[in-house]
Amino acid sequence: MAYLFTSESVSEGHPDKIADQISDALIDNFLAWDEDARVAIETLVTTGQVVLAGEVKSKIYLDVQKITRSVIERIGYTKSEYMFEANSCGVLSAIHEQSADINQGVDRITRQEQGAGDQGIMFGYANNETDNLMPLALDLSHRLLYELAALRRENKEITYLRPDAKSQVTLEYSDDHKPQRIDTIVISTQHDDFASEEEMQQKIKADIIAILLPRVKAQLKPELQALFNDDIKFHINPTGKFVIGGPHGDSGLTGRKIIVDTYGGKGAHGGGAFSGKDPSKVDRSAAYATRHIAKNLVAAGVADELLVQISYAIGVKDPMGIYVNTYGTSKIGLSDSEIAKKISDIFDMTPYGIETRLGLRNPIYSETAAYGHMGRTPKRVTKTFENSNGEVKTIEVDLFTWERLDYVDRIKEAFNI
């Protein structure tokens, strides 16, 4: 019997995502000047106010107010009528030094012996629904909002958009878990005020269907384009009006969109957020590492769908164990436990091994903080940073290294594929 599955996404202007982006911009600036920095920063945003809190161990001092305001400006909160504006909002910092009790569990005489920065469980997931080996409902939800933000910045075809937005896509699946069609699309987008509420709803719905959807559809391969149909149910700004939004409409906090950040409800999640944490925190680094494993195994042909779990104890470098679930889609005649054993032989999952393999001690995190940490395109970029003394540093970094398919050949050899 067919069934429905839904995933959601939120835009870069959503309050929780503003908080994530500020936290990760601070991470990047610390790592740009001090690659050994230990950082855990939480951000709260509300009407006209940003509050920064957390722990830092670093040799560098940063102008956190300036960095915070630059993020808010880049997102697009630049008008006073938003009641949250880059140059006028308050920025309160309550950042203090990291606990020595935590730090002694992480730092060791050699970096190779570095312990995990926290206990916990982390999951990585991949399936073959999309070219980037991500769940399709989440991939479409992200694409809708990424293109909506592009339309907002272009300010040509649609000129009334404001930064806050959410999306949701419901797919119908067959009994054998293949997507058959798009059942429902939900989009709520913040907008300028209209003279008439009826005109507003008609205009926004028409523009979403006639302008946004074709741009997203054009990015997809033909078999995914075919999922779009005349029977899709649309709920566009279903409350009727969305003028008040952003931090003035709802407060935002770092780490409240962990399902949006990962797999949209597919697979599993260990509960730990990513943004605001340096890579010694395995909540972040091991989640990237398990995604890297899952993606490469699916790409190599080990299974059509695969979940990897790993667990750590704080201060201990070796993981407690690795678990694999192929959901009955394994193609290689090995049990899931046998696959897990081979993963342990191929991948160094100590915190130091993960950091070095994926280049996580670089300032690469701002780009992860909106539109998902997984399923993104690996690329090399040049980034420029300025410290509180006015010194400027330009760094070339590799983004989304955990999305590389650089272990496929090694996996095929190990599994005799």
Q: Tell me: the pLDDT tens digits for 298-340?
A: 999 999 999 999 999 988 889 999 999 999 999 999 999 999 9
Most confident of 110-119, 171-180, 193-202: 171-180
**Which residue is associated with the tokens 């592009």?**
150
Q: Tell me: the pLDDT tens digits for 154-166?
A: 999 999 999 999 9
Q: Tell me: the pLDDT tens digits for 35-90?
A: 999 999 999 999 999 999 999 999 999 999 999 999 999 999 999 999 999 999 99
For the residues 396-400, what does the mean pLDDT come to? 98
Q: Tell me: the pLDDT tens digits for 273-290?
A: 999 999 999 999 999 999
Q: Tell me: the pLDDT tens digits for 353-392?
A: 999 999 999 999 999 999 999 999 999 999 999 998 889 9
CATH topology of domain 3-9+136-247: GMP Synthetase; Chain A, domain 3 (3.30.300)
Amino acid at 408: V
Q: What percentage of the chain has pLDDT greater than the value 90?
A: 89
> Residues annotated as binding site for ATP?
14, 164-166, 241-242, 250, 256-257, 273, 277
What's the pLDDT band for 1 if we cut at 50, 70, 90?
Answer: confident
Please list the residue range(s) of the chain that carry CATH number 3.30.300.10.
Answer: 3-9+136-247, 120-127+279-415
> Residues annotated as binding site?
14, 16, 42, 55, 98, 164-166, 241-242, 250, 256-257, 273, 277, 281
> Residues annotated as binding site for L-methionine?
55, 98, 250, 281
> Residues annotated as binding site for Mg(2+)?
16
What's the pLDDT band for 103 if we cut at 50, 70, 90?
Answer: low
pLDDT of residue 197: 80
Neighbouring C-beta atoms of residue 213, cutoff 10 Å = 18
CA distance 200 to 160: 10
Helix (H) or strand (E) holding 305: strand 305-312
Q: Decide if pLDDT at 207 tops 80.
A: yes
pLDDT of residue 400: 98
Q: Decide if pLDDT at 237 tops 90.
A: yes
> Residues annotated as binding site for K(+)?
42
pLDDT of residue 198: 78
Q: What's the CATH code, domain 120-127+279-415?
A: 3.30.300.10
